[in-house]
Chains A and B, each alone.
Chain A
Amino acid sequence: MASAEEIARAADRRDIRDRWLLSAPALVIIFVAAIGPLFVMLAYSFMVKGDYGDVKFGTFSLDGWTSVLFQRDIFDDTLGLADAHLTILWRSVSLSFYTTVLTLIFGFPTAYFIATRPPQARDVWIFLVTIPFWTNLLIRTFAMQQVIRNEGLINTALISLGIVDRPIQIMNTDTAIMLGMIYVYLPLMVLPLYASMEKLDFRLVEAGYDLYASRWQVLRRIILPLVKPGVIAGSILVFIPSLGAYVIPRVLGGGKNMMLGNLIELQFGSGRNWPLGAAISITLMALVMIALLFYVRNVSRSEAGHG
């Protein structure tokens, strides 16, 4: 006869099996249309490129990976650094960095402002941040274009005020891409910052003032350390999509000022170098993973510090 313990264990096993069956549709869909293709892409990055795009099946080559950073000289066949790729990589990283810093500079006071309103008003202000966030990214990028293009708001205003006599070229520059990314990703900075500021215990701030701290000291020594998880979360949430941006540089950068996303598209389009495109994609994914790991390590450490 089966003991009570055995019966319980059999029931557990059945429960776990049922739970796998129940989650199967979601897992299968995500495997087929998200995770699986990434492995296929990894394999493609090690194949020989086809003459008209695609790859030659069953071949092996490291050319895709070498050409991420190096290029072969047409005349003497030596390897040199691929300057164009390095420029694009540098542009992606540095623009994402500046975007993160600037969204923090504008987002921090904004989140603080919202968190110090009365509770009813807070909901309204947060709602105002959420509306642009849920508006189509393409439409927001296009909206930014209306502001910075040569006949746009800024230039029209500057010319009619007589400050400049011909439009300042902002479109199709790195600045345009950065302005677009700041505009589009700002809510991603404000929302997590607000979440951590809302929980801020102002008795600690008051204690600081009682001990003759200045406003600046209170901000730097009390508020900032307490909301650090929000600062890290917001920075990661802005940095990661900036790094992988594709639509914003395509629309505002005007084709010449590419970021990694556009370089990838180029390889799958007119570049006809799928293994290289696959290798750059995996590089981009690796950069994102590094940023995520940094986030996980820092957040768990700061949580342990406060716990």
Chain B
Amino acid sequence: MGRVRRTFDIRAQPGFGFIALLTFFGLYLPIAALVVYSFNGAESLSRWGGFSLRWFVSAWQNSTVQDAAIRSLVLAIWAATLATIAATMAALATTRTPPYPGLTFKYAFINQPLMVPEIVTAVALLIVFSRIKVWTGYTGLGYLVMAHTAFCIPFAYLPIRARLEGMDLTLERAAADLYATPWKTFRHVTLPLLRPAIVAGFMLAFVISLDDVVITEFVKSGGQDTLPTYMLGQLRRETSPEINAIATVFLVLSVLLVTVFFFVNRRKP
């Protein structure tokens, strides 16, 4: 008797694999083009002038770029730190409890920045902050820190809340039974258990703040460019390959951060 070979794969759908590979090709082709052109030795993007690192050197020595990069980092550290603290407190207040009046309201409130288009929040902040700038005369980085913190909170809140929902109150109750004060319980029991989620929340908030263009563009005062708003400004003119070099560095940093995040999260038991 001839052996019946089973060749019918119930999971297969004709053409799906091809479209999927095409999609991945499409996802990475533009990024590859961006990176390749950043090593272009020519004066402009319109022709290829051989392999060169000149645009990386010139971006590195450009003091405007340096300022913008440092401002981006300072802003992201401030916003991510404040957002993570506020989000941790809010997560503690909204999990491991029977429903109480105002709980749904708090969820809606905290997630609100995710629901409204960025451009709408941006012009609303422009209206309010430009008025406050006139009244107080203060035009510092505080406005940007405030705006970034607000839209980073929901991102920091997400992993922390998820982690808390998977924890019960047994250990905290045990600590309380052993006469630990609420603060000691939090410091020595809750916080260590929550640390991975807090780190994840901080990293998410950091990346989100670092990437923001629209809200920053409308809130910033004169001379307060961050790296993304500087790049947006440059894109309007005849773009030089220097922008490609900056974008490539930015890209590598983002990919590194995401990779770290991916492996940190995967090591969970």
Bound pair (A, B): yes
Q: Which of B14-35 contact A (CB under 8 A)?
A: 14-17, 19-20, 22-24, 26-31, 33-34
- Find out whether the CB atom of A292 lies under 8 angstroms from the CB atom of B20: no
**Looking at the complex, which one of A130, A206, A281 makes contact with B258 (CB distance below 8 Å)?**
A130
Cα–Cα, bound, A140→B235 (Å): 13
Q: Determine whether B138 belongs to the interface, using a CB cutoff of 8 Å to chain A.
A: no
When distances are taken between beta carbons in the complex, the residues of chain A under 8 Å from B112 are 30, 34-35
**B31, B109, B228, most chain A CB atoms within 10 A:** B31
- Find out whether the CB atom of A288 lies under 8 angstroms from the CB atom of B29: no
**A146, A289, A292, most chain B CB atoms within 10 A:** A146
Q: Which of A147-183 contact B (CB under 8 A)?
A: 147, 149, 151-153, 183
Cα–Cα, bound, A183→B210 (Å): 21
- Find out whether the CB atom of B116 lies under 8 angstroms from the CB atom of A40: no
Q: Mark A24-38, 1 if CB is under 8 A from B, else 0.
A: 011101111111111
- Find out whether the CB atom of B106 lies under 8 angstroms from the CB atom of A27: yes
Cα–Cα, bound, A202→B13 (Å): 13
Nearest-CB distance from A139 to chain B (Å)?
5
- Find out whether the CB atom of B115 lies under 8 angstroms from the CB atom of A143: no
**Looking at the complex, which one of B20, B117, B266 makes contact with A244 (CB distance below 8 Å)?**
B117
- Find out whether the CB atom of B29 lies under 8 angstroms from the CB atom of A147: yes
**Looking at the complex, which one of B11, B47, B116, B153 makes contact with A205 (CB distance below 8 Å)?**
B11
- Find out whether the CB atom of B115 lies under 8 angstroms from the CB atom of A151: no
- Find out whether the CB atom of A19 lies under 8 angstroms from the CB atom of B100: yes
Nearest-CB distance from B40 to chain A (Å)?
11
User: Number of B residues contacting the other chain (C-beta, 8 Å)?
Assistant: 87
- Find out whether the CB atom of B255 lies under 8 angstroms from the CB atom of A281: no
Q: Determine whether A209 belongs to the interface, using a CB cutoff of 8 Å to chain B.
A: yes
Cα–Cα, bound, A251→B232 (Å): 8
**Nearest CB to that of A182 among chain B residues?**
B26
Per DSSP, chain B at the interface is helix
Assuming A136-B250, A247-B232, is B124 touching A37 (CB within 8 A)? yes
Nearest-CB distance from B220 to chain A (Å)?
14
Assuming A37-B128, A138-B231, A183-B26, is B86 touching A25 (CB within 8 A)? yes
Assuming A25-B86, A264-B123, is B115 touching A153 (CB within 8 A)? no
**Looking at the complex, which one of B124, B130, B247 makes contact with A142 (CB distance below 8 Å)?**
B247
Number of A-B contacts (CB under 8 A): 247
Q: Determine whether B147 belongs to the interface, using a CB cutoff of 8 Å to chain A.
A: yes
**Nearest CB to that of A260 among chain B residues?**
B119
**Looking at the complex, which one of B47, B106, B127, B151 makes contact with A41 (CB distance below 8 Å)?**
B127
- Find out whether the CB atom of A186 lies under 8 angstroms from the CB atom of B23: yes
**Nearest CB to that of B27 among chain A residues?**
A132
Q: Determine whether B257 belongs to the interface, using a CB cutoff of 8 Å to chain A.
A: yes
- Find out whether the CB atom of A268 lies under 8 angstroms from the CB atom of B157: no
Q: Mark A255-272, 1 if CB is under 8 A from B, else 0.
A: 000001100110010000
Q: Determine whether A22 belongs to the interface, using a CB cutoff of 8 Å to chain B.
A: yes
**A20, A23, A260, most chain B CB atoms within 10 A:** A23
- Find out whether the CB atom of B11 lies under 8 angstroms from the CB atom of A41: no
- Find out whether the CB atom of A139 lies under 8 angstroms from the CB atom of B251: yes
When distances are taken between beta carbons in the complex, the residues of chain B under 8 Å from A79 are none
Q: Determine whether B120 belongs to the interface, using a CB cutoff of 8 Å to chain A.
A: yes
**Looking at the complex, which one of B11, B117, B262 makes contact with A202 (CB distance below 8 Å)?**
B11
- Find out whether the CB atom of A146 lies under 8 angstroms from the CB atom of B34: yes
- Find out whether the CB atom of A202 lies under 8 angstroms from the CB atom of B29: no
- Find out whether the CB atom of B90 lies under 8 angstroms from the CB atom of A284: no
Q: Determine whether B92 belongs to the interface, using a CB cutoff of 8 Å to chain A.
A: yes
Q: A37-B124, A247-B232 are in contact. List 6 more A-B contacts (CB 8 A).
A: A23-B93, A26-B110, A137-B211, A139-B251, A190-B23, A288-B115
Residues in chain A within 8 A of chain B (CB atoms): 15-16, 18-20, 22-23, 25-27, 29-38, 40-41, 44, 54, 106-107, 109-110, 112-114, 116, 123, 127-132, 134-140, 142-147, 149, 151-153, 183, 186-187, 190, 202, 205-206, 209, 215, 219, 240-241, 243-244, 246-247, 250-251, 260-261, 264-265, 268, 274, 277-278, 281-282, 284-285, 288-289, 292
Residues in chain B within 8 A of chain A (CB atoms): 8, 10-17, 19-20, 22-24, 26-31, 33-34, 37, 45-47, 82-83, 85-87, 89-90, 92-94, 97, 100-102, 106, 109-110, 112-113, 115-121, 123-128, 130, 146-147, 149-151, 153, 157, 207, 210-211, 213-214, 218, 228, 231-232, 235, 243-244, 247, 250-251, 254-255, 257-258, 262, 266
Which 3 A/B pairs are nearest by Cβ-Cβ distance? A244-B117, A113-B20, A37-B124
**8 A-B contact pairs sorted by A residue (CB < 8 Å):** A25-B86, A32-B150, A34-B112, A38-B116, A144-B30, A149-B45, A268-B123, A288-B115
